[in-house]
Chain A
């Protein structure tokens, strides 16, 4: 990985020529420059006007600020498979959502070169009362494909899931593993330039995981870059060419997967066993 360049001065006007030149670059797949993400959240599970009025009378504030990412910078050259490791709440999923354009940064910039396909935590599942096949079409359209493109690929995606007659049944009848299959199939069949996968394979059975790994291997050769978030450190070592380690929103280390995973395990003070490398 290269050293990230100086981020633009806050409040400075962009230079259109420079921006255009950046857009034409072919050496990078993604660049994260000094990104911080802070969001406000409420203590209540479901905030209501009634509670807000009651609180107002008591003069309490129920909103807290969470700094999910703190001044994170790194670059991802084309051809990289980037593993992202870190403890729960380290900011891994937030970083993936920032790369996918779901969460705009509070400060700093995220640039990506290529069409992204996301398979993030919790999977898809737009409408549980619709069939898997219908959700496949919705998933494709949400990812930015045209109606014709989605219809062309719908059968292939449905077939890949190996769900048989379940594919035409409402998704509320699915098990969590079946959900994973549909979600994964939609994500990998979008022919993405950037594939982002966040803890997607944990619910699948051995056969599905093997098939999914093979598919990811195939995509790794075609996509510009792949981003993989996993607590399975063995998968990170096996499938990634680079890795970064996040802790409490800060970038702790970036380097080869072996180095990063070793440092991360030292930090966690856990021994390297078959169980820990797969399940931490």
Chain B
């Protein structure tokens, strides 16, 4: 296929005036040009995300209250299931309040991940006319959905802080290290949202399967249970639990904030970062390699 490298062409100001559209090499456009255009159009992703939040009334008081109330009720249901009906307080030494604090912290952040996947999955198929009529890097669509999920997660932070103090948990400076794991979860969510968005274009029932997949994924992550609880399990179960990308990320995030295990093994950092970067690279490349199909598939 004849391909001319548009990166050799000088850009004038923000908007490259000369455009050269050729066949995509191995399905991929020139990635340097694509990345630059993605950055230049970031205001569009931001505005699209804000607009979707406005249209869903998420910026109003009751809209914000619902964002908190929804996962909080879910945490209440799980708490009831695990601690009262199950007659067990996870981790052995934790008080019911500490268990509830763990549950809310982990559940809130996992809800951010699952919302990213869910809204990311349907983001491309629901933006029909935009795909048909405007040229822009399509990756902005799932990334905008992750931004929306992040801003829907933010109001849960002050609510968690209340439970943190009620559980009598300390606040130490190394809690800031949890931001590293939060960053990993955000990046991982971006990659997964891109993958699910692409799959949804080809298989429109992806979004129907997704809630089941995400529910199973949550059960396999240390959300309803403490990460330390796998220590007593058999080697295969430990291996399966630890092969879950969210295991290390959720564990690091919760342990640093709740000061449970301030000496998280460096391997957990490395594995979390590797999963996040790996998911982003694979997810973005898969999405970009397929995006020329979108305009004709999403009709």
* A residues neighboring B (CB under 8 Å): 7-12, 14, 16, 19-20, 22-23, 39-42, 46-50, 52, 97-98, 100-116, 118-127, 129-130, 134, 137-138, 141-144, 146-147, 193
Contact = CB atoms under 8 A, between A and B. Distances in A.
B22 A49 contact: no
A193 to B, nearest CB: 7
Interface stretch (B43-51, B62-70, B166-174, B263-271): B43-51
A109 B22 contact: yes
Contacts of A123: 129, 133
Given A20-B10, A103-B296, A146-B14, A14 B4 contact: yes
Residue from A10, A22, A106, A143 whose CB has the most chain B CB atoms within 10 Å:
A143
A134 B47 CA distance: 9
Residue from B23, B40, B48, B293 whose CB has the most chain A CB atoms within 10 Å:
B23
6 cross-chain pairs, A with B, having the tightest CB-CB distances, nearest first: A101-B135, A23-B18, A16-B8, A141-B44, A129-B55, A49-B203
B130 A126 contact: yes
Contact of B292 (A23, A50, A103, A193): A103
Contact of B20 (A9, A102, A109): A109
B5 A19 contact: yes
Nearest to A44: B204
B19 interface: yes
B35 interface: no
Contact of B51 (A48, A101, A130): A130
Contacts of A124: 129-130, 133
Contacts of B83: none
A127 B52 contact: yes
Given A49-B205, A49-B206, A147 B43 contact: yes
A145 to B, nearest CB: 9
B44 A134 contact: no
Given A20-B9, A47-B202, A118 B19 contact: no
Contacts of A98: 21
19 contacts: A7-B2, A22-B18, A39-B296, A41-B296, A41-B297, A42-B297, A97-B132, A103-B292, A104-B21, A105-B23, A106-B23, A107-B1, A109-B22, A120-B132, A122-B132, A123-B129, A141-B47, A142-B44, A146-B43
Given A122-B133, A138-B47, A40 B293 contact: yes
B47 A14 contact: no
B29 interface: yes
Interface string B109-134: 00000000000000000010111111
B17 A102 contact: no
B133 A14 contact: no
B215 interface: no
B2 A107 contact: yes
Contacts of B48: 126, 138
B241 to A, nearest CB: 28
A104 B17 contact: no
A275 B68 CA distance: 61
Given A14-B3, A120-B132, A110 B21 contact: yes
Given A39-B296, A49-B203, A143 B4 contact: no
A50 B204 CA distance: 10
Contact of A126 (B9, B10, B22, B127): B127
B54 A130 contact: yes
Nearest to B296: A39
B27 to A, nearest CB: 10
A206 to B, nearest CB: 25
